[in-house]
Amino acid sequence: MTLINDPSSFRDDAGQIFNFKNRIFRSIKNNYIENYNFLENQDIYQILINKNLLINSWEVKDQNLISQKFEEVNKFLEHEKLENWTYPYEWTFSQLKNAAIFHLNFQLFLLEKNISLKDASAYNIQFKNNKPIFIDILSIDKYSDGEYWYAHKQFCENFLNPLVLCAKKGVNFNNWFRGNLEGIHTKEISKLLGFFDFLSPTLFFHIFLLNRFEEKS
């Protein structure tokens, strides 16, 4: 059987997505297994799946899969295969807005359990029955008390900035997002906004000040 790697997961050092026997699998590498076991023992994954927040996933022991001789792989998961697959640059304004709100609510729910998201890629969300659902199980990580959200900048670029571009300037984000798969950089959106736009506390703190910090760094 031919194993097909998903090119979108090449940057994840904790595991990788691939298609095998027309099913969707994810490898979990040794460097993430401690975190995975911790969350599994806390029943976090099952809680999220039951609440329809996380894509249904389960451990598998397929001998044909194991025989592929993956390096540094500890476990294999199989994911529910969604009927439709879309990308953020294909979404409508409402879909991106719903995904953004879902992502923030998801993060807040995790924080209540001393867990956090280590990144904020819009590509970690798909739509099932027209509702957002999180698909990247390896983005869920243990939270250390007092730790700031490392994914804040990525959330702004993937969600906030494209929404602001459309809402404040009437420019659709789709083509811009398609041209830069990381979203819209804060420096770029900041140049398009005027003085009165930054009277909004949200835009002042998350775009104007963030851009100033980035310029200084």
Residue 62's pLDDT is 65
Q: Which of 18-22, 56-60, 171-175, 188-192 has the lowest mean pLDDT?
A: 18-22
Distance of CA 141 to the CA centre of its chain: 12
The residues, any chain, with a CB within 8 Å of residue 217's CB and separated by 6 or more, are none
Write the DSSP assignment of 18-67 as a string of letters. EEETTEEEEEEEHHHHHHHHHHHHTTHHHHHHHTTSB--EEEE--HHHHT
**What was the pLDDT predicted at 192?**
92
Residue-level pLDDT at 139: 94
> What 8-state DSSP symbol labels residue 143?
P
pLDDT at 10 over 60: no
Higher-pLDDT residue of 76 and 99 is 99
Rg of the chain taking only CA atoms, in angstroms? 19
The number of residues in the chain equals 217
pLDDT for res 130:
93
Q: What is the pLDDT of residues 93-107, one digit of tens each?
A: 999 999 999 999 999
Does residue 115 surpass a pLDDT of 80? yes
- Distance, in Å, from the CA atom of 81 to the CA atom of 207, rounded to the nearest integer, reads 37
Average pLDDT of the chain is 89
CA separation for the pair 16, 5 (Å, rounded): 8
Could you tell me how many helices (H) and strands (E) the chain has, helices first? 10, 9
**Model confidence at 135: pLDDT above 90:** yes
153-208 pLDDT per residue, tens: 999 999 999 999 999 999 999 999 999 988 999 999 999 999 999 999 999 999 99
Q: What is the DSSP string of 101-125?
A: HHHHHHHHHHHTTTEEES---GGGE
pLDDT of residue 7: 56
Contacts of 27 (CB under 8 A, 6+ apart): 15, 16, 18, 70, 73, 75, 76
In the structure, what pLDDT confidence band is assigned to residue 53 with cuts at 50, 70 and 90?
Answer: very high
Could you tell me what percent of the chain has a pLDDT over 90?
A: 64
What per-residue confidence (pLDDT) applies to 202?
A: 92
Question: Do 24 and 17 meet the contact criterion of CB atoms below 8 Å apart?
Answer: yes
pLDDT score for 13: 78
Task: Give pTM, 2 decimals.
Answer: 0.88
Residue 6 has a CB neighbour count (10 Å cut-off) of 13
Nearest residue to 79 (alpha-carbon basis) of 60, 105, 94:
60
Q: Which pLDDT belongs to residue 5?
A: 61
Quick one: pLDDT at residue 147? 87
pLDDT of 128:
95
Give pLDDT, residue 21.
79
Phi, then psi, of 87 in degrees rounded to 5: -120, 155
Strand runs labelled E in 136-186:
140-142
